[in-house]
A and B are shown apart, each in its own frame.
Chain A
Amino acid sequence: QSALTQPASVSGSPGQSITISCTGNYKFFSDYNYVSWYQQHPGKAPKLMIYDVNKRPSGVSDRFSGSKSGNTASLTISGLQAEDEADYYCTSLKTNSIWVFGGGTKVTVL
């Protein structure tokens, strides 16, 4: 049982928007903005898409956005494209310098 809970799968049609949730029931998650999101395509290393809840690293499309309210963080993908089909993982600081991943969400583009 991961400390961060994500839905196993989310799907959408090209051009639509989808949202992936990530729920964490511990103090660091709700009280601080240490939530990040990774994208992983099959056979590839993960790629950081969002950090500090809603910041995008250089080079990441602005179709990806993040938010957090209370103990739930969200990743929204707007204008869904075929290349967005991948696994997505949330992560958060759990305690002093120790992080934890969510179980992952498989995004399918219909």
Chain B
Amino acid sequence: EVQLVQSGAEVKKPGESLKISCKASGNSFNTYWIGWVRQMPGKGLEWMGIIYPLYSETKYSPSFQGQVTISADMSITTAYLQWSSLKASDTGMYYCATPSDSNDSGPFHHWGQGTLVTVSS
């Protein structure tokens, strides 16, 4: 069974950097796309981007291109989502997720528990 375990909640100030993680187990991490989804408080789901760890190939939604960086470390089967300079509008819940079939970019059959990011001065 595929499991995605995300890092814990974060409280940051505007302008700070942040890297949150998502550790995968139960699948061949290198050959499964793994993605990130944002949910701002009281709002809907937003598809942010995905990475194919074997080639470090990334795809970003135009809304998030240049705003975040998605990366992965195959040696520890972990994907990351990072910000270089947080804004208050980055506050939200962030989910990692992965499809059930290797080489498919979606849909997401398996989800992490979410990481709450709060950015406030």
Q: Across the interface, name the chain B residue whose C-beta is closest to A48.
A: B109
Q: Mark B77-121, 1 if CB is under 8 A from A, else 0.
A: 000000000000000000101001000011111011110000000
Chain A residues closer than 8 Å to B60, beta-carbon distance:
98
Q: Does B61 contact A (CB under 8 A)?
A: yes
Chain A residues closer than 8 Å to B114, beta-carbon distance:
45
Which residue from B45, B59, B105 sits with its C-beta under 8 Å from A101?
Answer: B45
Q: Mark A45-57, 1 if CB is under 8 A from B, else 0.
A: 1111001000001
Q: How many A residues, CB 8 Å from partner?
A: 24
Judge whether B105 and A93 touch: CB under 8 Å.
yes
Chain B residues closer than 8 Å to A100, beta-carbon distance:
47, 61
Q: Does A24 contact B (CB under 8 A)?
A: no
Which residue from A48, A97, A102 sits with its C-beta under 8 Å from B108?
Answer: A48
Nearest 10 A/B pairs, CB to CB: A36-B107, A97-B105, A104-B44, A45-B111, A101-B45, A97-B59, A99-B47, A51-B107, A99-B106, A89-B45
25 example contacts (A-B, Cβ-Cβ < 8 A) are as follows: A36-B106, A38-B107, A45-B111, A45-B112, A45-B113, A46-B37, A46-B97, A46-B108, A46-B111, A47-B111, A48-B109, A51-B107, A51-B109, A57-B100, A57-B109, A91-B45, A96-B59, A97-B50, A97-B105, A98-B47, A99-B35, A101-B44, A101-B46, A102-B44, A103-B44
